[in-house]
Amino acid sequence: MDILNFCANNYLGLSSHPEVINAGLDTLEKYGAGLSSVRFICGTQNIHKDLEEKIAHFHRREDAILYASCFDANAGIFEALLTPEDAVLSDELNHASIIDGIRLCKANKYRYKHMDMQDLESKLQDAQKYRLRLVATDGAFSMDGDIAPLKEICNLSQKYNAIVFVDECHATGFLGPNGRGTDELLGVMDQVAIINSTLGKALGGAAGGYTTGPKALIDLLRQRSRPYLFSNSLPPAVVGCASKALDLLMENNAIAQSMAAKTTRFRSKMAAAGFTISGNNHPICPVMLGDARLASLMADDMLKKGIYVIGFSYPVVPKGKARIRVQISAVHSEEDIDRCVETFIEVGRKHGALP
Residues marked as catalytic: 142, 170, 201
Identify any residues that bridge with 88 across adjacent strands, giving them in sequence order: 109, 134
Residue 231 CB contacts under 8 Å (≥ 6 apart), including other chains: 38, 67, 68, 72
Which amino acid appears at position 219 of this protein?
Answer: D
Distance CA 291, CA 320 (A): 6
Q: How many of the other CB atoms lie within 10 Å of CB of 268?
A: 12
Concatenated DSSP letters of 337-355: HHHHHHHHHHHHHHTTS--
The radius of gyration of the chain's CA atoms, rounded to the nearest angstrom, is 21
Cis peptide bond prior to 227, omega within 30° of 0: no
3-state helix, strand and coil shares in percent for the chain, rounded to the nearest 5: 45, 15, 35
Distance CA 281, CA 260 (A): 7
Sign of CA dihedral 32, 38, 41, 43: positive
What is the total residue count of the chain? 355
**Run of H or E including 310:** strand 310-312
First vs last Cα of the chain: how many Å apart? 29
Task: Quote the DSSP letter at residue 40.
Answer: I
For residue 302, count CB atoms less than 10 angstroms from its CB and return exposed for 0-12, middle for 13-18, buried for 19 or more.
buried
